[in-house]
Amino acid sequence: MENNSFDINVELNIETLQSGELTHTKISEPGKFIQIGDSVYLRFNESLDNNDKASILVKVTESGEIHVKRVAKSTNLASLLYFTHQKHNTGHLETEYGVLPLATYTKDSQVEIVNNPLSGKINIDYDLIYDDNVIGNYKFRLIFNA
């Protein structure tokens, strides 16, 4: 089993439309690119207020499914969302009050990874769904390079 790890720079832009309000989040951090077998992992942190951090792990499977896990220990929040091009998936948000089931509908997804030099992008356009209601529309744009 092949296991390659590289230092990378990650730039993540997230555009969120919730209740008619558009917000932008930009994360620019160092991270790690790890390939294990046919799956690729990107690991990096998101800087939060009060010098806290949330850890983010993005996995791309050989079939092109994308998993995004975000853990913020300081706020007792953890989410795991799954994305498959033009399909519904189930995920969840863990809070101090319990686990909320969340669903995603991936309207569009693209993954491009180039080996020499190592770089790539992961784009996901999706709806976040709770209790059969769309609670937000998201554009996830991740760019990385070694």
Give which of 107, 91, 101 is closest to 130, Cα–Cα.
101
Q: 86: part of which helix (H) or strand (E)?
A: none
> What would the pLDDT profile of 80-106 be if each residue is shown by its tens digit?
999 999 999 999 999 999 999 999 999
Question: How high is the mean pLDDT of the chain?
Answer: 94
Question: DSSP 3-state assignment of 50?
Answer: helix
The pLDDT confidence band at residue 4, using thresholds 50, 70 and 90, is confident
Q: Does residue 1 register a pLDDT over 60? A: no
Query: What are residue 138's DSSP bridge partners?
Result: 16, 126
Q: 75: part of which helix (H) or strand (E)?
A: none
Residue in the structure block whose two tokens are 């209740």: 19
Number of domains in the chain: 1
Which residue range is the domain that position 14 belongs to?
A: 3-145
CB atoms within 10 A of CB 28: 12
Cα 124 to Cα 66: distance, rounded to the nearest angstrom: 9
CATH number of the domain that residue 130 is part of:
2.40.128.20
Q: Does residue 29 register a pLDDT over 90? A: yes
